[in-house]
Amino acid sequence: MKALRVVALWMALVLGVASSAMAEGFALTEWSARGLGLASGMVGRADDVSAIAYNAAGITQLPGVQVMGGMGLIAPMGTLSLDTTYGKQETTTKPAVWAMPHAYASWQLNDSLWLGLGVFSRFGLGNSYDQNWTGRYNLYSVNLQTISAVPTLAWKINDIFSVSAGLEIMNINLTTEQKFPTPLPGMAGNPAFDNDIEVQGSGWGVGGHFGLHARLNDEWSIGLAYKTQVTANVYGEAKYEGGLKRSGMKEFQDADAHGTVQLPDSLALGVAYKPLDNLSFEVGAVWTRWSTYNSLNIYMDNGSNSISHKNWSDGWNFNASVEYKPLDWWSLRAGFWYETPVINEDHSDFMVPSNGRTALTLGTGVEWNDFTIDFAYCHMWINPTSYDDTDGHGILDSGYITGGNSKNTVANIYMLSFGYKF
């Protein structure tokens, strides 16, 4: 009973914070402090309870009841350098720190079956700019937040192979804010004639998680994890402010809004090698089918629809990591990952001003009796995106932006996790 109360408390804390959980970027793989310190090298290892997020088949390595909970903080920063008819104008994103909680629990039922539950975020982005910045007709604020609950069953087939299956229940919240001009001749870009539109919506989606873990011997293990596509119908409202709303025209009045958010499936592979009891390595790759992300369209009952083409490409994440324990109670970790570009620059916008990422990670952990504490840090370099040929609404068609690019975009991630074994 004590174990169940602790598990319930972990989950309640995560769900309570999740309403404000957002992150710069789009696909998230930072699901525990140890996992972050190992650059997500937990698909082949899969040997702590956060494996529920990385490769749940690995929880068959965990005896008894185990829990983990924690928080990540993501601090992004970047600059948009735009060419305009008034000369080059540069805008830096507003300083922000986004919270990203996680919680996990596993329970060994018998020698063959384990139950698991994870609560974490698979996707998220948050960017905001000054309301009067150059690109405000595309957007000046966007927040996409997801939180997933994943109940899981893992089966240990024999001493080598384990498999898992989980149901993902995802909540999605999306808010966008942008300006649009009053169409008066010669006044393009004059903020005195700008109007505002804020669109808010939320919805639910369902998907599946499947894992395979093979512990070939004491030194080698292999993991494979597949997360299905999640499609959610999002419903909300569009709110207008400005002179066009006061004019009484139907297309500029508050209205119900709806759209479909389609998030991609992914397949992860990890190969772990443990030559010594206190030393392990892992290399891995994650393929994400971003080609299913064709558009992000919002339809409003007043007829003012927002059509945004995406047509992204499939992406790859390649990672490598090492973990060393100089003492029985102390671990040191380091990792690296590289992600290939996915954005189609013919449709680029200011919602995701990045096109591929490279990261270095460091981490440490301590064990005391049945407690574990892990901390990790990640510095991420984000590739620039060009706006020279985009058809994104409110950019080149604004009448005064002629091109440009993002630059000097980075993110720092800090994460802390606490674990307990009953």
Stretch 322-339: mean pLDDT, rounded? 97
Rounded-to-integer distance, Cα 172 and Cα 136, Å: 24
Q: How many CA atoms lie within 13 A of 349 on its CB side?
A: 26
Strand partners, 195: 180
Q: How far apart are CA 137 and CA 181, in angstroms?
A: 8
Q: How confident is the model at residue 5 (pLDDT cuts 50, 70, 90)?
A: low
Q: Hunting for tokens 């109940």 — which residue is that? A: 151
Whether 16 is in a domain gets the answer no
For residue 2, being part of any structural domain is answered with: no
Cα–Cα distance for residue pair 1/372, rounded to 1 Å: 21
Q: Does residue 77 belong to any structural domain of this protein?
A: yes
Please, which pLDDT band fits residue 83 given cuts at 50, 70 and 90?
very high
In a domain, 324, yes or no: yes
What does the mean pLDDT of the chain come to?
89
Range of the domain at 70: 22-421
The pLDDT score that the predictor gives to residue 200 is: 92
pLDDT band at 4 (very low <50, low <70, confident <90, very high): very low
Asked if residue 13 is part of any domain, the answer here is no
With respect to residue 111, please indicate whether it lies within any of the assigned structural domains: yes
Looking at residue 192, what is its pLDDT? Answer: 56
222 is a domain residue: yes
Q: Are 266 and 236 in contact (CB under 8 A)?
A: no
Amino acid at 298: I
User: pLDDT tens for residues 222-232?
Assistant: 999 999 999 98
User: For the whole model, what pTM was predicted?
Assistant: 0.90
> Across residues 43-49, what is the average pLDDT?
97
φ and ψ at 246, to 5 degrees?
Answer: -70, -20
381-414 pLDDT, tens digit each: 999 999 999 998 889 988 889 999 999 999 999 9
Give the domain CATH number at 76. 2.40.160.60
Q: Specify whether the CB–CB gap between 188 and 10 falls below 8 A.
A: no
* Residue 72 within any structural domain of the chain: yes
Residue 348 pLDDT > 70, yes or no? Answer: yes
- Per-residue pLDDT of 143-156, as tens digits, reads 888 999 999 999 99
Q: Domain count of the chain? A: 1
Tell me the per-residue pLDDT of 168-209, one tens digit each, with 9 for 90 and over: 999 999 999 999 887 654 444 455 578 899 999 999 999 999
3-state secondary structure 266-324: EEEEEEEEEEECCEEEEEEEEEECHHHCCECCEEECCCCCECCECCCCCEEEEEEEEEE
